[in-house]
Amino acid sequence: MAQKNLALVSGANGHLGNNLVRLLLKKGIPVRASVRNISNKIPFHGLDCEVVEADITDKASFVRALQGVETFYAVGASFKLWAKDPQKEIYDVNLQGTRNTMEAAAEAGVKRIVYVSSIAALDYTSLPAKESSGYNNDRRDMYYNSKNDGEQLALELARQFGIELVVVMPSAMIGGVASLPLNVSYGVLKLILNKQIPVDTKITMNWIDVNDVAEGCYLAAIRGRNGERYILANEKCMTITDTTALAKNLHPELKLKVPGTVPKPVLFAIAWLMELLGKWGNKAPLLTRKDIAMFSGLLQNFDISKARNELGFNPVNPQQAVEEALHYLLQHKSLLN
């Protein structure tokens, strides 16, 4: 017998996906969780949900996973800012993944989709940025490009297939339940705690508690207007250096040092060196020249009144989000290794 209100969450072992599964279950909604590799059951320990294997690069797997589903939370995507071949590993995966999952949803008869985009798909030229600001014209980063183009593709396909689709755009998610590998945002806090940020990069983060984003996704499913986009972020961003200062005040026992400023050419030189080491070791460098060029000094401040008024979105402030996330990492030391 088909379950009423069945929700599918893709990328359900990821940071947002897993915390969203937990939230929906608490609200009494039956959940089917889709993951790329079903052998990793740790994130679902003690959770009363069905876990299925589905990959956004394999449309047929989603046609199966979406059978009987009323609401599809499209969370799963390649979330990384660095890859050996960013076009192939990030952009193509996310664009084709959006097309595959949208077509699968249409074939399976899904009524409503909450599509997880990103603040990366916003135009930052006038602040505070809002949903009506349009799309980001900075084309230097393949993850950002995939979010800009993927969101527009999802909206276009939803109109074509007659499926209700609501877009949510989260900022840097921290807090909640986490497991390794940590997402990019949580990874920054890990670097701070492990004293691995040597200089002030002037890069900002718009910190948001992942539980608030999960709640925002649920509110978008029940209250969001079809074809609309909603920013799930805080109003003000913080530099990574200010975040380190906050961590230092909260945890004096860690003896953290607040990184000092260096001239921009020195920053570029450090990033170039890290890229070189990353290439040799075949792993993501801590900092790239593109990061400095795109993000150093970029303010990520948002007008979230639309999500507040239409959805009832009410996030905890960035300082509290950071405080709780740091506490979680320090309680779960294995995440810091």
Q: What is the largest CA-CA distance in the chain?
A: 65
Q: For residue 53, what pLDDT is reported?
A: 96
Q: For residue 104, what pLDDT is reported?
A: 98
- Count of CB atoms situated within 10 Å of the CB of 68: 16
**pLDDT tens for the chain, residues 1 to 337:** 457 899 999 999 999 999 999 999 999 999 999 999 999 888 999 999 999 999 999 999 999 999 999 999 999 998 887 888 999 999 999 999 999 999 999 999 999 999 999 999 999 999 999 999 999 999 999 999 999 999 999 999 999 999 999 999 999 999 999 998 899 999 999 999 999 998 999 999 999 999 999 999 999 999 999 999 999 999 999 999 999 999 999 999 999 999 999 999 999 999 999 999 888 888 889 899 999 999 999 999 999 999 999 999 999 999 999 999 999 999 999 999 8
- Count of CB atoms situated within 10 Å of the CB of 283: 11
The pTM (predicted TM-score) of the whole model is 0.96
CA-based end-to-end distance of the chain? 45
Q: For residue 4, what pLDDT is reported?
A: 81
Peptide bond into 263 cis (omega under 30): no
Domain boundaries, given as residue ranges, for the chain:
7-176+207-234+301-318
Q: For residue 1, what pLDDT is reported?
A: 42
Q: For residue 2, what pLDDT is reported?
A: 55
What is the C-alpha separation between 112 and 161, in angstroms, rounded? 11
What is the C-alpha separation between 3 and 295, in angstroms, rounded? 45
Rounded to 5°, the CA angle 162-213-309 comes to 75
Could you tell me the CA-to-CA distances from 290 to 23, 189, 269 in Å, in that order? 36, 21, 12
- Count of CB atoms situated within 10 Å of the CB of 127: 14
**One-letter amino acid identity for 70?**
E
Q: For residue 299, what pLDDT is reported?
A: 95
CATH assignment of 7-176+207-234+301-318, given 3.30.420.40, 3.40.50.720, 3.40.50.300, 3.30.70.890?
3.40.50.720
Q: Reduce the DSSP state of residue 35 to 3 states and report it.
A: strand
Q: Of 54, 89, 90, 57, which Cα lies nearest the Cα of 73?
A: 54
Q: For residue 29, what pLDDT is reported?
A: 97
Contacts of 326 (CB under 8 A, 6+ apart): 189, 193, 247, 250, 251
Rounded to 5°, the CA angle 22-316-145 comes to 75
Q: For residue 234, what pLDDT is reported?
A: 98
- Which tokens sit at 198? 């040597």
132 by Cβ neighbours in 10 Å (0-12 / 13-18 / 19+) ranks as exposed
Q: Of 62, 15, 63, 60, which Cα lies nearest the Cα of 34?
A: 62
